[in-house]
Amino acid sequence: MLIKPPADIPSSEITPKGVYMRRREFLGALVAVTGFGDQLTTTSKLVTTSDALTPRQAVTSYCNFYEFGSAKSDAAQNAGAFKSKPWSVAVEGLCGKPGMYTLEDVLKPHALEERVYRMRCVEGWSMVIPWDGFPLGDLLKRFQPSSNARYVEFTSVYRPQEMAGQGRRFPALLPWPYREGLRIDEAMHPLAILAAGLYGETLLNQNGAPLRLVVPWKYGFKSFKSIVRIRFVEKQPLNTWQEANADYYGFYANVNPEAPTPSYSQATERRIGEFFMRRTLMFNGYADQVSPLYAGMNLRKLY
């Protein structure tokens, strides 16, 4: 059996006492498709760190979204013309329910939850972000993955007319479209979410509107933005950064302070808004929840 049910993680286990709370009101994820910067209603809240939130202003202006350019300010500056409505997601490969799903189809059955997660970029900086989303596994199960679907490949949007970074040539910034992948049991892990918003509002274009992945125990480049395709596959897919530079970027890309990458030791990080460096935590602080996924693997080698 290749598709494992998600491990049962009681929220209280990863939420500092006194911070965890559950809200009862529920209006449904439909609200998420009304427009950008619109208010969202979440049904529950899971706070996985007692660290202070990174201010919304920093989260929405200091971004990595190479489709709009390689500077941190490019996405916020250049993403205004990007049309993330209407939107649809193609579901392909080894599953019982392939097809084209509108954003409404995707979101409708899922109640949105607030998830406060650490985010650690492989470049050595980090943030704490309150996302609004739902478990990725809950969506994937709806498409009935086959037993030989061992990986999921995700593809981001390709629209060079609307995305200045994709239009750049000689050399191209990255091999487009941006692709990412997860092993199916990683994708089914309850901490992996699809986010439709942050700070209680629908995602702005620069943060990956209308729907993006958030995998908090991996380096930020795995949390790809503006998803247009999900494909269930048997073989490990190549991700964009690996294709661009396999010496620097791996498939697993689990946050690991003991495994230096060629660009950086990875032992410490700079929290955006702070002066002093912090020690980086194994699996970005989520080791208790996710380390069983990698039992027996050499995490230094299989970066």
Site residues (vs ligand MTE, CB under 6 A): 63-67, 121, 156, 178, 207-208, 220-221, 223-226
Question: Based on CB atoms, which residue is closest to ligand MTE, 72 or 183?
Answer: 72
Tokens representing residue 104 in the block: 């409404």
Q: Which amino acid is at 194?
A: L
Amino acid at 127: M
* CB distance 181 to 154 below 8 Å: yes
Tell me how far apart the alpha carbons of residues 6 and 29 are, in angstroms, rounded to a whole number.
22
Least distance to ligand MTE, CB of residue 208, Å? 6
Which residue lies nearer to ligand MTE by CB, 94 or 283? 283
Those residues whose C-beta lies under 8 Å from the C-beta of residue 60, and which sit 6 or more positions away, are 76, 198, 204, 206, 207
Nearer to ligand MTE, 46 or 195 (CB): 195
Nearer to ligand MTE, 43 or 49 (CB): 49
- Tell me how far, at minimum, the Cβ of 225 lies from ligand MTE, in Å: 4
Q: Can you list the positions of beta strands (E) in the chain?
A: 44-47, 88-93, 99-102, 113-120, 125-135, 151-156, 179-183, 193-198, 201-202, 212-214, 227-233, 268-271, 278-279
Instruction: Supply 8's token pair.
Output: 């049962």
Cβ nearer to ligand MTE, comparing 21 with 246: 246
272 DSSP assignment: T
Closest CB to ligand MTE: residue number: 220
Cis peptide before 260 (omega within 30 of 0): no
Give the contacts of 121 (CB within 8 A, at least 6 positions apart). Answer: 64, 219, 220, 221
**Residue 86: cis peptide before it, omega within 30 degrees of 0:** yes
Q: Which is nearer to ligand MTE, 224 or 303 (CB)?
A: 224
Q: Which C-beta is closer to ligand MTE: that of 42 or that of 156? A: 156
Distance in angstroms (rounded) separating the CA atoms of residues 154 and 182:
8
Q: How far is the CB of 64 from ligand MTE (least distance, A)?
A: 4
Nearer to ligand MTE by Cβ, of 64 and 202: the residue is 64
> Counting Cβ atoms within 10 Å, is residue 226 exposed (0-12), middle (13-18) or buried (19+)?
buried
Distance of closest approach, residue 76 Cβ to ligand MTE, in angstroms: 9
**Residue 208, Ramachandran bin (φ over 0: left; ψ between -120 and 50: alpha; else beta):** left
Minimum distance, C-beta of residue 97 to ligand MTE, in the bound complex (Å): 25
